[in-house]
Structure 1
């Protein structure tokens, strides 16, 4: 990874089913982060294009699907234009229309480079609760090897499966980026800080959680975004406020901690067969 990787995690509200307003906010945030801290990477929460879903409701579902778009659509194009203008990498969540099947959705994250090109995408693998009525699970776990570092991406519930984040680490991830729409009703806010630090320490890599704030319908979101070093020390963390978290990720720190505690060498995969047995 880059010797000193400067990142920004944007803890933002989202306007329900209005990609234009969200895009405007996000473009301004990218520009601000570049001007204030000369960042290399700007990160936005899960489903930043049009917001979260609600309980199963076919009228709402119809409106939500009509507000979604393909990766080639205007939301990603607008983010790509700003990434190129500001000369930064951007990771954002979005509601993605299936490229072929009408009315089908993915909960996706897109990584865009400073040329405005799409480096890759991650589609949420673990779909909880009533999200199952709206989203198809993804089927790949990739690490994106870029000039600023090897980046693994998870989306919300994905981050509660250490099997996945360890897989990303074994594929070379140095930086784990976790996008969230974690709401008040399901977990205490502090859980997000715990998960961020734990995923980092387990794999001796940097870990970034970017959650949203605000409300969609009756669901409110508590923020608590965080950035952790490879042993669980917080480089930055937020509470419930609208903010941009900044942090510098040092390659020397990553190497020092992996030299001190070689967790990959010390693994015992011969003892982990239970992990892949069906229930």
Structure 2
């Protein structure tokens, strides 16, 4: 079995206090390591280390103050924490100041060796409320001996192109840090289940805890079944994902019946997609 033991840590920052938030994050990661020694990957909510405040306390200039370079001093600290704990870390997302001066909402994945394995700029910022510059490509990364994961951030999940492209790139699990402060969280959970089912992948969607957000983090399996869902407060969802289940479901179908990914592989190249000016391309091998 190819298994990935994950800890989705639903927590909150210390608003507008970058150093205190870092200390809280590092302490929580170390606590997960000590309490759940089998865990391999820890993911936290979107913009946690940016110490973003709750929606109605947010400051329009904060992202400029909190923005960092990637790589840079903050990612160096994250890499050191990964080496110390021996964990894969997806530390939510950061405000990244790019070389052209634009600020992106960026998620990174750091290996247990302390290397940045992937860096992903949010393609679909929540407009008009989120003013970061959008990224232009989707990103996956390999966990050696385990499988391949894709990165998405919050509102990305509302666009079916996100999960479809990540699955096409070989992702078997989508890691999706989220910071949802509003009552549309229920719709996001619908999207998480739909993205998992239609692409036959796991989705790990970790939201911020109250008061930073409304919680309800969830882990969904490749058949669209919710394995775990959190409440509103600080909580950790620990699960062991069987990535061979992705292969099983794609081979034999969801509920032993439905095989959408196989059907796309068979007929996709003959289907004209006018919205994209293209056809569905065969999955790369």
| TM-score (norm. length: structure 2) | 0.85
Q: CA RMSD in A?
A: 2.4
The answer to whether 1:233 aligns with 2:225 is yes
Q: Evaluate the alpha carbon distance shift between residue 50 and residue 214 of structure 1 in structure 2; reply closer, same or farther with a 3 A threshold.
A: farther
Instruction: Tell me the CA shift for residue 17 of structure 1.
Output: 2.5
> 1:114 matched to which residue of 2?
112
The answer to whether 1:16 aligns with 2:15 is yes
CA contact (8 A) 2:220 2:226 kept: yes
Specify every segment of 5 or more residues in structure 1 that has no aligned partner in the other structure, as ranges. none
Q: 2: CA distance between counterparts of 1:54 and 1:247?
A: 28
The answer to whether 1:144 aligns with 2:141 is yes
> 2:179 matched to which residue of 1?
181
| Cα deviations by residue, 1:79-107 (Å, 9 ceiling, x for unpaired) | 211111110101123333323234x3100
Q: Evaluate the alpha carbon distance shift between residue 97 and residue 177 of structure 1 in structure 2; reply closer, same or farther with a 3 A threshold.
A: closer
CA contact (8 A) 1:80 1:116 kept: yes
Moved over 4 A (4+): none
SS of residue in 1 equivalent to 2:91: strand
Instruction: Tell me the CA shift for residue 139 of structure 1.
Output: 1.1
> 2:162 matched to which residue of 1?
164
The answer to whether 1:254 aligns with 2:281 is no
Instruction: Tell me the CA shift for residue 165 of structure 1.
Output: 0.7
> 2:260 matched to which residue of 1?
263
What does 1:60-99 align with in structure 2 at a 5 Å threshold? 60-99=59-98
SS of residue in 1 equivalent to 2:107: strand
Q: 1: CA distance between counterparts of 2:140 and 2:71?
A: 21
Alignment length (residue pairs): 267
Q: Evaluate the alpha carbon distance shift between residue 272 and residue 34 of structure 1 in structure 2; reply closer, same or farther with a 3 A threshold.
A: farther
Q: 2: CA distance between counterparts of 1:175 and 1:126?
A: 19
Specify every segment of 5 or more residues in structure 2 that has no aligned partner in the other structure, as ranges. 254-258, 278-285
CA contact (8 A) 1:23 1:79 kept: no
| Cα deviations by residue, 1:153-209 (Å, 9 ceiling, x for unpaired) | 111111111112111101100111111111225x1x333332222211111111100
